Chain A
Amino acid sequence: MTTRQNGRPSQLFRNLNAKIASIPMVLTALVVFLGGTAWTVLYSFTSSKLLPRLNFVGLDQYERLWAAPRWMTAIENLAIYGFLSLIFSLVIGFLLAALLDQKIRFEDTFRTIFLYPFALSFIVTGLIWQWLLNPDFGFQGVVRQLGWESFTFNPLYNAEIVIYGILIAGLWQGTGLVMCLMLAGLRGIDEDIWKAARVDGIPMWKTYLFIVIPMMRPVFITTLVIIASGIVRVYDLVVAQTSGGPGIASEVPAKYVYDYMFAAQNLGQGFAASTMMLLTVAIVIVPWAYFEFGRRRHV
C-alpha cells in the first residue's frame, strides 16, 4: 500500500509527521471556515427568526435587504470609509515611515508614540474620539474657549459627514501599524541604491516614487491586505463612537448583520447581509488572486 512496485514510498505518506500535525488546522479551516460559510449562505435563503429553521423562501431576504435604506447607507458608508481609509493609511503611513527612516534621533521614541494607538481596541478608540469630537467638551469646545467663538468641528452630529468622524478615529488607530510595516520595508532597501540615486542626481521624492516604492511592492501588498481586512470588519468602532447614529447615518454592514441576527431576532436577514459582505470581498479578491498567481510567473 505505502510502497510502489519499485520500493519507493508513495507521495501520500511522505512527510507524515508534518501532515498529521497540520490535521487540526486543516479540519478547522474546512469545518469552521468553509463549513460555517456554506451553512450561513444556505440559511440566508430561509426565514429563520431567532433560531435557525429550514423554511426556504428563495431570494426574499435579499430583496428585503436591498430595499432597506439602512443597508444602502451601510454599503455607502463602507465604500467611503474603505476607499479613504486605504488611501490615507498608505500615504500617511508611508510618509511617517520615510520621515522616521532619516536616521533621526529618538527614532524609537517616535515609533512608539505612533504605534501606541494601535495597541488600543476599537472600542476604546471609538469612545476616545466620541469625547474628542464632542461639541461641548471636545475640540470644538476647547477652541471656542480659547477665543474663536465661531469655530465648528462637529462631525459626529452631522448626518452628512459623520462617516468622516469615524474615518479620523480609524486612521488614528491604524496608521501606526502601516507606518511600522512600511518602515520595515524601507529598511530592506539596499543602502547603495540610495547612494546611486544621489550620485545620479535624482531628487529624494523621485527616488521614493520611481525607485524605492516599486521595490517595496510586496510590502505594499501585505499592508493592503491587512488594511482591507480591518475595513470590512469595522463594527466596534462605529458602535463605540456613534452607535450607528445620528439616526442611521453611520451604519456599516457588519453592524447591520449583528443587529439583525441578534437584536432583531431575524437570523435570515442577518445571514443575507453577511453573505453579501462575503460576495463583496470575493469580487475584489478573486480577480486579484488570478492576477497575482494565475499568470505565468516571470520575475
Chain B
Amino acid sequence: MSSVSVKDLSLNFGHISVLKDLNLDIAEGEFLVLLGPSGCGKSTLLNCIAGLLDISDGQIFIKGKNVTWEEPKDRGIGMVFQSYALYPQMTVKGNLTFGLKNAGVAKDEIERRVARTADILQIQPLLERKPSQLSGGQRQRVAIGRALVRDVDVFLFDEPLSNLDAKLRSELRVEIKRLHQKLANTMIYVTHDQIEALTLADRIAVMKGGLIQQLDTPHAIYNHPVNRFVAGFIGSPGMNFLEGQLETGAGAVVKIGNMPVPIDRYVFSGSSQQHTGATVLGIRPEHIAFGDGAGAMPFSHEVDIEIVEPMGSDTLVWTRLDGQSLSFRVEAERPLQAGDRVRIGFDPARASLFDSATGNRI
C-alpha cells in the first residue's frame, strides 16, 4: 500500500488550470522530491497534499485513507516551511508543544516527544530560547522539530533550505538525509535546486506547467531524460544540445552540419511517434572524452578551444562544433589555452536524442 497517493488531481484558479490530472504514488518510507522551476506547481501540489488548498478535482489518499476533504491536522502530516514559520513570541519549547497541548496530548507524552525530537535534531540547548535568538540553521532544525513532535507518518518540506546560504545549505542537506535514514518516514520534498533533488531523493518528480514531466530515480532522470526540458534542467554544468538531422536506414546517423554521428549504439525509446528530420542531440559535458581517449570513441572530431573556465575540482572548456556551442570537462591539471586545437569524442550510447519540434526523447 502506498503511503501517499494522488489520483487525477486538478486545481483551477478561475479559468487558469494550475494542476492538471496529476497522478502520483509514493511508497512508504520513500523520499520523493518535487523538482521544477518557479511556477511549475510543485509548491501548489504540496499544499494540496497538505490540505492547505482545496482541489478542484481528484482524490488524495494518505496511508490508504481518503483525505481529500480532511483538515491538515487530520491528515497525519507534518510540514516544514521555507520561512520556518516559527511562532516568534514563544520559546523553542513552546513552539514544539503548542500544537500538542492544543490537541490535548498528555503532559508526560509531550515531554517524551520533545526530549526525543530535541535529541534527534540536537536542539536541547536551544529549548528555552526564542526564535529571534537562533541562527538560520537552528531555526530550520526547530521547524523540522515541530513537524517531528507530531508523531506522523508523512513529512512535507516546502523548499526548507532556500533561505540559507550555500555552506549551511549543504550541511543541512546532509542532516536531512541522515534524518530520513534514521526515521524512515515518507518525505515529500519541494525544491528548485536540482542538486538537492539528486542527492536526497529516492525518486524525483520533475514538474513543469502543472504537469509531471518525468517521475523516476535520480539515476534514470540524469541518464535517460524523457524530454529536452528535463534533460536541460538536471545536471550542472548543463547538457550540451546540438541541432541536427536524423537519417534512418542502414547506417542511422544524426547529421550535425556535415558531420555524421553514428547512432547504431543508441537505444531508441521505442515510442511510436513517426519522425524523421530535425533532431536535437544532447550530450553531457562529463560524457565527452578528450585527447587520447577521444580517438577511441565512435565519434570524434577536432575542435578549437574558445574559453577555458577553471572551476577548482576540474576545468570546463568551451568550444564549437558545427558552429554550435559545446562544453566538456577536463582534469584541472591539464594546461589548456584558448586557441588550442584538440580532439574530442563521445559514445552516442550515452547521448539523448530529442525531436526538435516536440522536445520528446526519440
Contacts and interface: CB of A to CB of B under 8 A. Distances in A.
Do A and B touch (CB < 8 Å)?
yes
Interface of A: 190, 192-193, 195-203, 206, 210-211, 214-215, 299
Given A196-B87, A201-B102, A210-B87, 7 more contacts: A193-B85, A198-B52, A200-B73, A201-B71, A201-B74, A215-B88, A299-B132
B133 interface: yes
Q: Interface of chain A, helix or strand or loop or mixed?
A: helix
A199 B52 contact: yes
A175 B316 CA distance: 65
A198 B83 contact: no
Interface in B24-52: 47, 50, 52
A262 B221 CA distance: 88
Contacts of B83: 190, 192
Interface size class of B (residues with CB under 8 A): 20 to 34
Contacts of A192: 81-85
A215 B85 CA distance: 12
A195 B52 contact: yes
For the complex of A and B, the 6 pairs showing the least CB-CB separation, nearest first, are A201-B73, A200-B99, A192-B85, A214-B89, A196-B85, A192-B81
B282 interface: no
A199 B77 contact: yes
Contacts, number: 62
A288 to B, nearest CB: 20
A200 B86 CA distance: 12
A161 to B, nearest CB: 39
Contacts of B78: 199
Nearest to A192: B85
Nearest to B86: A196
Contacts of B150: 200
Contacts of A193: 85, 87
A196 B86 CA distance: 8
Contacts of A196: 79, 81, 85-87, 146
A215 B132 contact: no
Contacts of B77: 199
22 contacts: A192-B81, A195-B52, A195-B79, A195-B81, A195-B85, A197-B87, A198-B52, A198-B73, A199-B50, A199-B72, A199-B73, A199-B77, A199-B78, A200-B73, A200-B98, A200-B99, A200-B102, A202-B102, A210-B87, A211-B87, A214-B88, A215-B89
